[in-house]
């Protein structure tokens, strides 16, 4: 028993010395005795068995220490007291960890509460898509109090309509004015951006409490301006009007009555578009914009006409007809006298003379050629009038639309230069190809038939020559071609072909018909001893024959030379 107690005391001394070496402090002098003491009451319980390979002893379950082993590490047997660590009081550490956990939980709760409070304060009266604006936010003077975003957008439609209604733009172009409203422009609004900004301010009401007003702005698309300017230009455009002859009286001292010229107008689209676009881009939606209108000067003035209208061509023939035939010539020339031929207009002999087969129109019976035979008919002789006019027209440069020659060659004009007519069947038609008016003066002086053409000179040529080819004979007739040559300062600048002519030297045989011309320009009827036809005969088939001498021709009474032509 004494040995056991001695061993226990020795073990306690060893433990105390070991603690001193590890901690640097001696064991308490009042440490409880190991014999009979409860380990749970005398020392803190270790968290786990501790194994120290550097120690030279082993703690055993009976409180004794084994002797050091000379070789290898020490070993110890399990002992209930081996669970206790006398140098680390574990109960105190457990209490500190619990306090930290408690503080963390409280902190999390406080943070969550503060977050919820802040969310409430900064979101108006609630959260989510149905949150509303605070009572201190306005847009264009309208309160958004308690409105959701969608409700605010609906309210802003009235603001947009009010802004658009303010578009009132007047464009002044010369003496005209054009008024435009919202229906004439494309425009847009920054409503969504403004509401988003207002919403953000509303959510900050916990910080900012003063009232805040935002303004929606309207932007007008200036691309619309181009369409508007194009329409204005079409309306403003006014062609300049040249001075022109409104009345032509060849028998008056002053033959021409001239209307004054007038200026035109055109919109300067580039300048006008720039003015309107700049006005819109600067944010203006109401006001007046001045468009630029330019005057267009006429090419021909009244003074110019008075100084430059001149005689372009003339032609004369001499009648060998009887009194009735001469009267028919006079009546038909008087009907054509004073004709004004507008640019591009086609002039018709029959339209001016009327029905020359009616005595009620002033025409008398006279000699005519019908199907190559001499007869008497109303209106005989008027073909010399149409021939005289035809030559004056081709000498001033007019285009030939319709012309046919006689059955026989006429004695009063060269071959290829006659023009027969028959009301309702054959006509003489010429066209004015120039930019300016032409004027026709016709009269009969005794037995001389006269025609003059007036107008403005053409700068492209100053003279015209008419040339007829030598005859090409066949059977009982022959054919000629006629060419017109344009001259400038004596040199040829252009030429064209006039209608060709086919003539016969004898009447058609029994059962055949006279020549009515066809595509070559031939027509029925002709000159026989000075008698003219007023009715066309039928075309006779041309029979080829060896060339023969043409009948002797009488010189044509040609009082007109090559004339000048109006500018094109």
3-state secondary structure 208-252: CCCCEEECCCEEEECHHHHHHHHHHHHHHCECCECCEEEEECCCC
- As a whole-number percent, the residues of the chain with pLDDT over 90 amount to 54
405 in a domain, yes or no?
A: yes
502 - beta bridge partners? 479
Strands, E assignment, 269-372: 286-290, 293-296, 310-318, 339-341, 346-348, 365-370
Of residues 513 and 420, which shows the higher confidence score? Answer: 420
Looking at the structure, tell me whether residues 397 and 452 fall in a common domain: yes
Say how far apart CA 395 and CA 390 lie, in whole Å.
9
Looking at the structure, tell me whether residues 351 and 372 fall in a common domain: yes
172 - beta bridge partners? 177, 290
Computed from CA positions of residues 442, 444, 447, 452, in that sequence, does the dihedral angle turn out positive or negative?
Answer: negative
Instruction: Tell which residue, 112, 219, 107, 109, has the closest CA to residue 160.
Output: 219
Instruction: Tell which residue, 124, 201, 197, 195, has the closest CA to residue 157.
Output: 195
Q: What is the pLDDT of residues 501-551, one digit of tens each?
A: 999 998 877 655 444 333 333 333 333 333 344 333 333 333 333 333 333
- Domain finish residue from 230, 259, 282: 230
Looking at the structure, tell me whether residues 248 and 377 fall in a common domain: no
Give the range of the structural domain holding residue 324, as residue numbers without chain letter: 309-520
Q: What is the pTM of this model?
A: 0.59
Secondary structure letter of residue 82 according to DSSP: G
429 in a domain, yes or no?
A: yes
β-bridge pairing 218-221 and 293-296: unpaired
Output the CA–CA distances (angstroms, integers) from residue 451 to 6, 21, 52, 250, 318, in the order listed: 175, 157, 152, 11, 12
78 in a domain, yes or no?
A: yes
555 in a domain, yes or no?
A: no
Residues near 20 by beta carbon (within 8 Å), at least 6 away in sequence: 26, 27
Instruction: Tell which residue, 512, 474, 462, 420, has the closest CA to residue 310.
Output: 462
pLDDT of residue 107: 84
φ/ψ bin of 222: left (φ > 0), alpha (ψ from -120 to 50), beta (otherwise):
alpha
Number of domains in the chain: 4
User: Taking 50 as the threshold, does the pLDDT of residue 124 lie above it?
Assistant: no
User: Mean pLDDT over residues 157-165, rounded?
Assistant: 90
Residues near 225 by beta carbon (within 8 Å), at least 6 away in sequence: 273, 276, 277, 280
Name the band, by pLDDT with cuts 50, 70 and 90, for residue 561: very low
Name the band, by pLDDT with cuts 50, 70 and 90, for residue 115: confident
Of residues 337 and 18, which shows the higher confidence score? Answer: 337
501 in a domain, yes or no?
A: yes
Looking at the structure, tell me whether residues 190 and 280 fall in a common domain: no
Say how far apart CA 353 and CA 356 lie, in whole Å.
7
Looking at the structure, tell me whether residues 209 and 281 fall in a common domain: no
Looking at the structure, tell me whether residues 416 and 357 fall in a common domain: yes
219 - beta bridge partners? 188
pLDDT of residue 562: 34
Looking at the structure, tell me whether residues 420 and 488 fall in a common domain: yes
Computed from CA positions of residues 378, 383, 384, 388, in that sequence, does the dihedral angle turn out positive or negative?
Answer: positive
320 in a domain, yes or no?
A: yes
Say how far apart CA 532 and CA 325 lie, in whole Å.
8
- Domain finish residue from 57, 73, 88: 88
Are 192 and 219 in contact by the 8 Å Cβ rule? The answer is no
Looking at the structure, tell me whether residues 259 and 191 fall in a common domain: no
Looking at the structure, tell me whether residues 74 and 213 fall in a common domain: no
Instruction: Tell which residue, 471, 315, 332, 502, has the closest CA to residue 406.
Output: 502
Say how far apart CA 555 and CA 416 lie, in whole Å.
13
- As a whole-number percent, the residues of the chain with pLDDT over 70 amount to 69
Helix and strand element counts for the chain (H, E): 11, 25
β-bridge pairing 256-259 and 244-248: antiparallel
Looking at the structure, tell me whether residues 197 and 323 fall in a common domain: no
**DSSP per-residue codes, 24-66:** SSPPPTTPPPSTT--HHHHSPPPSS----TT-S--B-TTS-BP
Query: 504: how many CB neighbours lie within 10 A of its CB?
Result: 22
Q: What is the pLDDT of residues 4-17, one digit of tens each?
A: 555 566 666 666 66
Looking at the structure, tell me whether residues 226 and 249 fall in a common domain: no
- Domain finish residue from 53, 73, 88: 88
Looking at the structure, tell me whether residues 57 and 196 fall in a common domain: no
User: Taking 50 as the threshold, does the pLDDT of residue 39 lie above it?
Assistant: no
């Amino acid at each position: 028993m004494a040995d056991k107690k001695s061993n226990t005391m020795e073990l306690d001394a060893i433990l105390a010395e070991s603690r001193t070496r590890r901690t640097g402090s001696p064991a308490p002098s009042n440490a409880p005795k190991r014999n009979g003491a409860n380990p749970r009451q005398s020392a803190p319980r270790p968290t786990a068995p501790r194994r120290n390979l550097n120690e030279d002893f082993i703690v055993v379950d009976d409180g004794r220490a084994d002797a050091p082993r000379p070789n290898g590490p020490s070993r110890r047997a399990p002992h209930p007291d081996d669970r206790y660590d006398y140098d680390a009081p574990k109960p105190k550490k457990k209490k500190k960890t619990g306090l930290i956990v408690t503080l963390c939980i409280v902190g999390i709760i406080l943070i969550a509460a503060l977050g919820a409070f802040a969310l409430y304060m900064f979101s108006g009266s609630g959260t989510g898509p149905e949150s509303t604006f605070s009572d201190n936010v306005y847009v264009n003077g309208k309160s958004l109090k308690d409105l959701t975003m969608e409700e605010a957008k609906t309210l802003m439609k009235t603001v947009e309509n009010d802004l658009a209604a303010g578009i009132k733009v007047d464009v002044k172009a010369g003496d005209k004015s054009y008024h435009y409203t919202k229906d004439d422009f494309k425009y847009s609004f920054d409503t969504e951006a403004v509401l988003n900004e207002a919403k953000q301010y509303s959510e900050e009401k916990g910080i900012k409490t003063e009232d805040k007003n935002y303004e929606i702005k309207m932007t007008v698309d200036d691309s619309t301006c181009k369409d508007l300017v194009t329409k204005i230009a079409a309306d403003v455009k006014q062609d300049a009007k040249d001075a022109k002859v409104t009345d032509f009286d060849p028998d008056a001292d002053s033959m021409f009555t001239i209307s004054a010229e007038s200026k035109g107008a055109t919109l300067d689209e580039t300048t006008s578009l720039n003015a309107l676009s700049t006005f819109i881009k600067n944010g203006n939606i109401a006001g007046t914009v001045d468009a630029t209108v330019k005057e267009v000067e006429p090419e021909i003035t009244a003074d110019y006409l008075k100084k430059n209208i001149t005689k372009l061509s003339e032609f004369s023939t001499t009648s060998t007809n009887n009194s009735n035939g001469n009267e028919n010539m006079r009546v038909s020339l008087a009907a054509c006298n004073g004709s004004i031929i507008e640019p591009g207009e086609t002039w018709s002999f029959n339209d001016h003379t009327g029905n020359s087969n009616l005595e009620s129109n002033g025409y008398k019976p006279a000699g005519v050629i019908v199907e190559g035979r001499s007869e008497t008919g109303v209106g005989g002789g008027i073909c010399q009038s149409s021939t005289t006019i035809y030559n004056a027209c081709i000498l001033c440069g007019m285009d030939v639309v319709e012309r046919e020659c006689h059955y026989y060659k006429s004695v009063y004009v060269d071959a290829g230069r006659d023009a027969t007519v028959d009301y309702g069947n054959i006509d003489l038609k010429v066209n004015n190809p120039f930019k300016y008016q032409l004027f026709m003066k016709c009269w009969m002086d005794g037995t001389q038939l006269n025609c003059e053409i007036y107008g403005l000179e053409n700068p492209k040529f100053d003279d015209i020559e008419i040339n007829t080819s030598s005859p090409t004979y066949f059977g009982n007739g022959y054919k000629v071609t006629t060419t017109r040559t344009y001259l400038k300062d004596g040199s040829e600048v252009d030429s064209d072909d006039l209608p060709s002519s086919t003539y016969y030297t004898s009447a058609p045989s029994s059962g055949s018909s006279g020549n009515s011309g066809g595509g070559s320009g031939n027509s029925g009827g002709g000159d026989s001893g000075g008698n003219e036809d007023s009715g066309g005969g039928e075309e006779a088939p041309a029979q080829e024959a060896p060339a023969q001498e043409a009948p002797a021709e009488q010189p044509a009474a040609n009082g007109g030379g090559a004339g000048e032509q109006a500018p094109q």
